[in-house]
Amino acid sequence: AQSVTQLGSHVSVSEGALVLLRCNYSSSVPPYLFWYVQYPNQGLQLLLKYTSAATLVKGINGFEAEFKKSETSFHLTKPSAHMSDAAEYFCAVSDRQAGTALIFGKGTTLSVSS
Amino acid sequence: DTAVSQTPKYLVTQMGNDKSIKCEQNLGHDTMYWYKQDSKKFLKIMFSYNNKELIINETVPNRFSPKSPDKAHLNLHINSLELGDSAVYFCASSSLPGANVLTFGAGSRLTVL
């Protein structure tokens, strides 16, 4: 069964600092990987996805993630944090067969201080 | 124009009652999902329908019954509500079954007293 592990349930950074949110996946075959963001009292919004093209994926709001098969990782980064980045971030995995759903990690709360 | 809309947004009810949450998508997607987000923000898939056919049915009490009258609608009916059913329920849709981008609704917060 596929799964994702997000290391660190809470990450705090200063405005302008690097953001690094960690995600490791477990899958017997290369999966699809996603990062979603959830702002307070809202639904989830797609930040970026990896589906087997370039291993470095660029998303919205300046975020990017790199798929590393050897490390089974898909960490999310942003060079310079902004106050508006404070939110809950979810890594998710899906295999490539039809009929499967996204399996989400437990989420990482990002706090940004001025 | 909201892509995935859920009603109601908030629902407060007593234990033992029956309630429904409705979901509609105007994206032309074939597949719809219900996810449950608990108080620790953990998201778990409950059900998935593709063109009105149930394709995912996770280990969920049979008090929960999804219904898809057409591919644009997926409703969730819950019988005999329990305290543990309190959660935020998210509807989502995608253009292919699985392995694709999910578009989420804003969620329906259910509180059982």
Tens-place pLDDT, residues A65-102? 999 999 999 999 999 999 999 999 999 998 777 667 88
Pair A36, A46: CB distance under 8 Å: yes
Q: Pairing mode, if any, of strands A64-68 and A73-78? A: antiparallel
Tokens 């998508």 correspond to: B25
Beta strand segments in A1-114, E: 3-7, 10-14, 19-26, 32-38, 44-50, 56-58, 64-68, 73-78, 87-94, 103-104, 108-113
Residue B4 in this model has a pLDDT that exceeds 90: yes
Q: Which two tokens stand for residue A102?
A: 């996204």
From A58-67, B28-37, B52-61, the region with the lowest mean pLDDT? B52-61
User: What local confidence, expressed as pLDDT, does residue B87 receive?
Assistant: 97
User: What local confidence, expressed as pLDDT, does residue B98 receive?
Assistant: 53
Partner-chain contact B99 A107, CB within 8 Å: no
**What's the rounded Cα separation, in Å, for the pair A2 and B42?**
16
Query: In which band, very low, low, confident or very high, does the pLDDT at B97 lie, cut at 50, 70 and 90?
Result: low
> Mean per-residue pLDDT for B81-93?
96
Query: In which band, very low, low, confident or very high, does the pLDDT at A51 lie, cut at 50, 70 and 90?
Result: confident
Tell me whether B96 touches chain A (CB under 8 Å). yes
Partner-chain contact B104 A45, CB within 8 Å: yes
Contact list in A for residue B105 (CB cut-off 8 A) is 43
Q: Vertex A68, ends A65 and A71: CA angle to 5°?
A: 125
Interface of A to B at Cβ within 8 Å reads 32, 34, 36, 38, 41-46, 49, 51, 88, 90, 94-104, 106-107
Query: In which band, very low, low, confident or very high, does the pLDDT at B2 lie, cut at 50, 70 and 90?
Result: confident
Distance separating the N- and C-terminal Cα atoms of chain B: 34
Task: Calculate the alpha carbon distances from B95 to A113, B7, B13, B75, B91 in Å.
Answer: 38, 22, 34, 18, 14
pLDDT exceeding 90 applies to what percent of chain A? 75
pLDDT in tens, B22-51: 999 999 998 899 999 999 999 999 999 988
Task: Calculate the alpha carbon distances from A52 to A56, A59, B30, B108 in Å.
Answer: 10, 15, 23, 34
Residue B96 in this model has a pLDDT that exceeds 80: no
